[in-house]
Amino acid sequence: MGCFTARNASKMGLGLLCVFLPLLTVAWGQYEDYEGYYFSHNEYRDGDEWVNMYRQGFNFQCPPGEVIVAVRSIFSKKEGSDRRWNYACMPTPQNLGEQTECWWEDINRAGLEWYQTCSNNGLVAGFQSQYFPSVLDREWQFYCCRYSRRCPYSCWLTTEHPGHYGEDIDMMMYTYDYYIRGATTTFSGVDRDRQWKFIVCRMTDYDCQFQNV
């Protein structure tokens, strides 16, 4: 497995990452919080730009055959306690097979905590969101896609992003064989912000029959 580079990684830090990441991947328990991310070999789709303005809705979808591998966000209290967002995508490897179908999951309502995974063994390939000034929060939908040969399994939660309400989010994946399948969020009525734990899954090493899970 190759080691993807990040724009701001130092040569020394990247070298250590390439040495120790395979060991960390093997050693981590199946159901424990997972602190690592995948580094995308792509830049964010719009460079340093954002997919939305504050208090503005957006619809972001990866190109066909790609999935989300990085999430970036900044928070502004004075702009309605809202966030600007950006995402990076990466093509899936050939052993996953063809992308057979994509769909939007149900809406996760603003002002509420929620848990959402892609149905039908899907992987997250996009986000749609609308801002509601009455609750100073957003509703969300996941855009999910599934593949013809592999299924997600061995899933766990990342740690909270951001670590504290109001902080920046910069969540990236390190390796190519784990994928985002959903998220669980908590909402603070005081800070009017969300913390996200992303649901990360490995894909089977063998062909599988798709089931609605």
- Mean per-residue pLDDT, 196-202: 96
Give 130-165 pLDDT, tens digit per residue.
Answer: 999 999 999 999 999 999 988 898 899 999 999 999
Residue 213: inside a domain, yes or no? no
- Asked if the structure places residue 12 within a domain, the reply is no
Structural domain includes residue 149: yes
User: Which residue range forms the structural domain that includes residue 92?
Assistant: 33-203
- For residue 3, tell me if it sits in a domain: no
**Residue 126 forms part of a structural domain:** yes
| pLDDT band per the 50, 70, 90 thresholds, residue 205 | confident
CA distance readout (Å), 185 to 22, 56, 62, 84, 159 = 29, 20, 22, 17, 11
Report the C-alpha gap between 59 and 22 in whole angstroms: 35
Bridge partners, residue 133, by sequence: none
Does residue 7 lie in a domain region? no
Report, as an integer, the average pLDDT of 100-112: 97
Please write the tens of the pLDDT for every residue from 20-66: 333 233 223 222 333 333 333 344 554 458 999 999 999 999 999 99
Segment 106-127 mean pLDDT: 96
Give the whole-number percent of the chain exceeding pLDDT 90.
65
For residues 187 and 212, what is the distance between their CA atoms, to the nearest angstrom? 29
What residues have CB less than 8 Å from 141, skipping those under 6 apart? 104, 105, 106, 107, 108, 127, 128, 129
Q: Is the pLDDT of residue 12 over 50?
A: no
Residue 212 lies in a domain: no
**Among 199, 184, 205, CA closest to 68:** 199
Q: How many domains does the chain have?
A: 1
Between 2 and 114, the more confident residue is 114
- Judge whether 178 lies within some domain: yes
Query: Tens of pLDDT along 167-191?
Result: 999 998 866 678 999 999 999 999 9
